[in-house]
Structure 1
Amino acid sequence: MLEIGKAIVSFDVLEEHFLCDLTKCKGACCVEGDSGAPLTNEEAVKLEKIYPIVEEYMTPEGKAVIAHQGSSMVDSDGDTVTPLVNNRECAYTFKDKRGIVKCAIEKAFFDGKIDFRKPVSCHLFPIRITEYKRFDAVNYQELKICKPGRVCGIGQKLPLYHFLKEPLIRKYGEKWYEQLEYAAKEKPWQQISE
C-alpha cells in the first residue's frame, strides 16, 4: 500500500492495466452488483436537482423506480445509492442502438444540458474507495464482468491509474495525481523489498 495525502492506495491501482471494452461487456457494471452506485450527500442533492433534465434519457422502468423511491435511496448497509430497476440495473441507465447499457446522467452531461458528469464512484470504477475517519482506502476491484477491460488494457499497455486519470483528479486533485504518477514510475515499494 502507498500513502498519498489521506489516501492509502493499493499497488494494484498502479500495476494493473485496464481499458473498458464496452463492445464486449455491454456496460455490465451498471447492471451487476448488490446495490446501486454509491453517492455522496452532495451528489444525492445534485441528482434530485438535475433529475427533470436527466429523465428524458431514461427508460420508463427507471423513471417509474425514481417516481416510487426517489432520485436516491439508502440501501441495507445504510449507504446512499442510486435506485435499481428490479434489483439489477441502475435506474439512470438506458441502452444504445448496439445494446450497450449507458448512463443517462452522463448522456445529459455530454449533450451540454447539465454540469455534473456522473457520480464519482461510477467515474472511478473499477476503483472503489472506502472512506474511513482518518483515511481513504483506494482499491482496484477485480470483477469477472470486467475481464474484457483487463484484456484490452493489457493489449493497449494502459495502466489503470492512467485510464482513470480524470476521475482520480476529480476526487483528489492534480497535485495528488502527480504524486501517484511519480510513485508509479519510481516504484519505491519495489526498492524497499530488494
Structure 2
Amino acid sequence: MLEIGKTIVSLDVVEEHFLCDLFKCKGACCVEGDSGAPLTQEEAVKLDEIYPIVEPYMTEEGKAVVASQGTSVVDSDDDVVTPLVNNRECAFTFKDEHGIVKCAIEKAFLEGKVDFRKPVSCHLFPVRITEYERFDAVNYQELRICKPARECGAGQKLPLYQFLKEPLIRKYGKDWYEQLAFAAEQKPWEK
C-alpha cells in the first residue's frame, strides 16, 4: 500500500496493466453489476440539471426508467446511484454503431453540450474508492469482464494508474497524481 496525502493506494493500482478494449468487452462495465454507478450528492444534483440535454442520447428504455425513478436512486446499501434498466444496464447508456454500450452523459460532454463528463466513479473504473472518516482507500477491482483490458494493457505495457491519469487527477489533483507516479517509478516497496 502507498500512503499519499489522505489516501491509501493499493499496489495493484500501480503494478497492474490496463487498457480498455471496447471491441471485445462491448462496454460491459455499464451493464454488469448489482447496482447503478455510485454518485456524489453534487453529481446527483448535476444529473438532474443536465438531464434535458443528455436525454436525447439515451435509449427509450433508459428514458422510461428515469421518467419513473428519477436521475438518481438510493440502492439497497443506502448509496446514491444511477438507475438501472431491468436491474442491469445504467439508464444513461446507448449503443454505438458497433454495438458497444457507451455513456450518454459522456457523449453530450464530448460534443460540448454539457460541462460534466460522467460520474467520477465511472471515470475511475476499475478503480474503486471507499471513503472513510480519516482516509480514502483507492483499490483496483479486478473483474472478469475486464480480462480483455488487462490483456490489452499488458500488451501495451500501460500501467493502470497511467490509463486512469485524467480521472485520478480529476478526483485528487495533479500534485497527488505526480506523487503516485513518482512512487510507481521508484517502487520503494521492492527495496
| TM-score where L is the length of structure 1 | 0.98
> CA separation in 1, counterparts of 2:57 and 2:120?
20
Paired amino acid for 1:57 = Y
Residue 28 of structure 2 aligns with which residue? Answer: 28
1:51 match: 51
Secondary structure of the structure 1 residue equivalent to 2:102 = strand
Listed one character per residue, the Cα deviations across residues 142-174 of structure 1 (whole Å, up to 9, x for unaligned) are: 000000000000000000000000000000000
Which residue of the partner structure matches residue 78 of structure 2? 78
Q: Percent identity?
A: 81
CA distance in 2, matches of 1:132, 1:38: 16
- Aligned to 2:107, the other structure's residue is in SS state helix
Q: Deviations over 1:110-131 (max 9, x none)?
A: 0100000000000000000011
> Counterpart of 1:55 in 2: which secondary structure?
helix
Question: For residues 110-189 of structure 1, what are the structure 2 equivalents within 5 Å?
Answer: 110-189=110-189
- Secondary structure of 1:18's partner? coil
User: 1:39 is matched by which residue type in structure 2?
Assistant: L
**Counterpart for residue 2 of structure 1:** 2
Q: Return the alpha-carbon distance in structure 2 between the equivalents of residues 43 and 140 of structure 1.
A: 22
- RMSD between superposed Cα atoms in Å: 0.3
Q: Which stretches in structure 1 are left out of the alignment for 5+ residues?
A: none
Q: Secondary structure at the match of 2:152?
A: helix
Paired amino acid for 1:134: R
**Matched letter for residue 83 of structure 2:** P
| Amino acid paired to 2:153 | G
2:60 alignment partner in structure 1: 60
Q: Could you report, residue by residue, the CA deviation over 1:49-87 in whole angstroms, capped at 9, with x for unpaired residues?
A: 000000000000000000000000100000000000000
1:131 alignment partner AA: E
CA distance in 1, matches of 2:142, 2:76: 23
Residue 88 (structure 1) aligns with: 88
Size of the alignment, in residue pairs?
191
Q: Show structure 1 runs of 4+ deviating over 3 A.
A: none
Residue type of the alignment partner of 1:33: G
TM-score (norm 2): 1.00
Measured after TM superposition, the shift of residue 190 of structure 1 is: 1.2
- Aligned mates of 2:132, 2:41 — CA distance in 1: 16
SS in 2 for 1:97: coil
CA distance in 2, matches of 1:111, 1:174: 25
Deviations 1:16-64 (A, max 9, x none): 0000000000000000000000000000000000000000000000000
Q: Which runs of 5+ in 2 are unaligned?
A: none
